[in-house]
Amino acid sequence: MQKAAAYIRVSDERQDEFSPDSQLKLIRQYCADNNLEITDEHVFYDDGISAKSVERRKEFCRMIELAKSKEHPFDAVVVWKYSRFARNQEESIIYKSLLRKHGVRVISVSEPSSDDPFSSLVERIIEWMDEYYVIRLSGEVKRGMIEKALRGQINGPAPIGYVLKDKKLVVQEKEAIVIRLIFDMFNSGLNAPEVARRLNTQGHRTRNGKLFEGRTVRYILQNPIYVGYTRWSKDGRMASNRHFDSESFITVKGEHEPIISEHEFNIAQKRLSCPKKAARRS
C-alpha cells in the first residue's frame, strides 16, 4: 500500500471552501477508497494563509522538504482541490515537477484526473480558472473598499480613540483623552518626541501597551479621523507611503463624532508643515 500526505489550507479570501475538518474527512475517505495509507504525522495544515506566498505557508514548505528527503515518507500529496495546493499556475508547475522528480504525485479529491494525454491539460485549465478567480475577486474587493471610503466609512480596524460598534466608529472616551492631550501639548509648543516622552511619563500607553514614540504622535496629529473625516489609500500602503496629498488617498467627511475641533487640527497641521529644527542633544 502506498503512503500519502494530506495538505489542507484554509484562506480568508473565499467563502465557498470546506472547513479543515471537512477537507481532511474527504481526503481520508479518498485514500481509503484508493488503497492509500495516511497517518496523522503526514497531515499538513496552513490556516488563513493565501496561496500567493509559499514562504508564508510553513507547513507546505515542511511537506516539500520531507518529500525531497532520503526517507521519502509518502508517495502522494492529496488535496481537496488543486487551488489548495497552489493558485499561481507557474508556482504549481514548479512544485509539481519537483515532487514528480522525487516520485510524489499530487492528487485532487474533487477534481480527479486520468492517465490519458488530456489529463494534464484539464489540470492546467482548472488551475488557470482558480487563478482568474483570485484576480477577479481582488478587483471586486478593491472596488468595494473604494465605495466604502467614498461614503466616509472606515476600511480596517478602528484607530486609537475609537471602537467599532455595528461597523461604525464610536468614541472611546478613555483613549480620546489621550488624543486631546496630544493635540493640546503639541499646539502649546512641544514637538512630537517631547509629547511622546511626556505621555510615557504620565503612564499613558498605545493601544498595544507600548510606549509612545515621536512618529506615533505625528501620525495621530496628521490623521483627519479625529476631526470627523476618513482617509484611505487606494494602493493600500498607508504605513509606508504618507504623501497624503497624492491622488491615491481618499479623504471625505465621515459619519463619526470628531474628538477635536477643526481649529485645533488646523493649528497642528500648520506646525507640522514648518521646517524641522535641529534636535537638541539630551
Rounded Cα gap, residues 221 and 183, in angstroms: 7
Q: Tell me the pLDDT band of 89, cut-offs 50, 70 and 90.
A: low
Q: Is domain 2-134 annotated with CATH 3.30.1780.10?
A: no
Q: What is the mean pLDDT of residues 264-271?
A: 92
Domain residue extents for the chain:
2-134, 152-273
Question: CB–CB of 196/215 below 8 Å?
Answer: no
Question: CB–CB of 126/82 below 8 Å?
Answer: yes
Q: Which of 184, 173, 149, 134 is nearest to 17 (CA)?
A: 134
Rounded Cα gap, residues 169 and 179, in angstroms: 15
Distances (CA, A) of 266 to 96, 242, 273: 58, 18, 11
Q: Do domains 2-134 and 152-273 have the same CATH topology?
A: no
Q: What is the mean pLDDT of residues 123-138?
A: 58
Instruction: Name the CATH code of domain 152-273 (choices 3.30.1490.20, 3.90.1750.20, 3.40.1190.20, 3.30.70.2190).
Output: 3.90.1750.20
Q: What is the pLDDT of residue 41?
A: 93
Question: H or E element: which one contains 38?
Answer: strand 36-47
Q: What is the pLDDT of residue 44?
A: 94
CA-based end-to-end distance of the chain: 73
173-218 pLDDT, tens digit each: 999 999 999 999 999 999 999 999 999 999 999 988 899 999 999 9
Cell of 80: 481537496
Q: What is the pLDDT of residue 97?
A: 83
Rounded Cα gap, residues 133 and 127, in angstroms: 10
